[in-house]
Amino acid sequence: MQLALVHARYQLLEIIRIPVAVFGSAFFPAAAMIFFVVPFAGDDAVGATYATASMVTFSVMSANIFQYGVGVAEDRDQPWNPYTRTLPAGPAPRFAGRVLAGLALTYLSLIPVVVIGATLTAAQLTPAAFLLALGTVAVISVPFTLMGLAIGYSLPSKAAIVVAQVVFLPLAFGGGLLSAPGDAPGFIETIAPYLPTRGAAELMWSAVGDYSVEPLALVMLGVWVVLLAALAAWAYRRDEGRRFS
């Protein structure tokens, strides 16, 4: 655990030295809050609460896909990366440190969204619901962390940036993150349960309000986790084989 914390500290220092990296993860959800949620749902307590939860999901997805997808790909290009893989501690502390650092930055990127929701909208949460939402954030980070790792270990850094950008917005729109529960266009409501973003959003909605998660969305979220875990593991093993073959 101590080695994992050392690696996490290193990862955090690397990212904090370039503040725009943290700013980028928080900008789009915060901008969406200001331009869409505040003027259109800000006065409705229930609507604003669900919309803020959607933007939290949006931020979690953004932070993890870009942080792991682009960050891992860039790390693989560094000359010292193959050396770190030969250290006797093995890959587990390095991987755990990256996950811990990623989770810390995910929570950091949520601060603007939460502040905007608390100060500029009528969104309301009980302390218990707030704590439940904090825990749910860690749960819904899993599929997007795995997606980012799969991208990062599969592609070079320039390609990883493009792929992360390509999958990001379709997942947000297709999962119904930019509309209230049940108010998305018909074709979005049809495809949304099959995307990981919808299952993640519904877990957030259920954490902050009286919302029943659709079983299909929850099952498909589990399917996505399994598929993405398998893809990330395959990509890592392939990259490992290439480095030492």
Q: What is the rounded average pLDDT of the residues 112-120?
A: 89
Radius of gyration, CA atoms only, the chain: 18
**Which of 30-39, 75-84, 185-194 is least confident?**
75-84
CB 129 within 8 A of CB 204: no
Query: Using 50, 70 and 90 to split pLDDT, how confident is the model at 109?
Result: confident
pTM over 0.75: yes
- pLDDT tens sequence across 167-209: 988 999 899 888 778 777 888 889 999 999 999 999 999 999 8
All structural domains of the chain with their residue ranges: 2-244
Residue, of 138 and 243, whose pLDDT is higher: 138
- Say what percent of the chain tops pLDDT 90: 30
pLDDT at 81: 65
**How does DSSP assign 157-175, residue by residue?**
HHHHHHHHHHHHHHHHHHT
pLDDT at 84 over 80: no
pLDDT at 169: 86
- pLDDT tens sequence across 44-59: 788 889 989 999 999 8
Q: What are phi and psi of 79, to 5 degrees?
A: -65, -25
Whole-number Å distance between alpha carbons of 153 and 161: 12
pLDDT at 95 over 90: no
pLDDT at 128: 92
pLDDT at 214: 92
Whole-number Å distance between alpha carbons of 184 and 137: 23
Query: Using 50, 70 and 90 to split pLDDT, how confident is the model at 90?
Result: low
User: CB-hemisphere CA count at 13 Å for 188?
Assistant: 18
- Across the chain, mean pLDDT equals 83
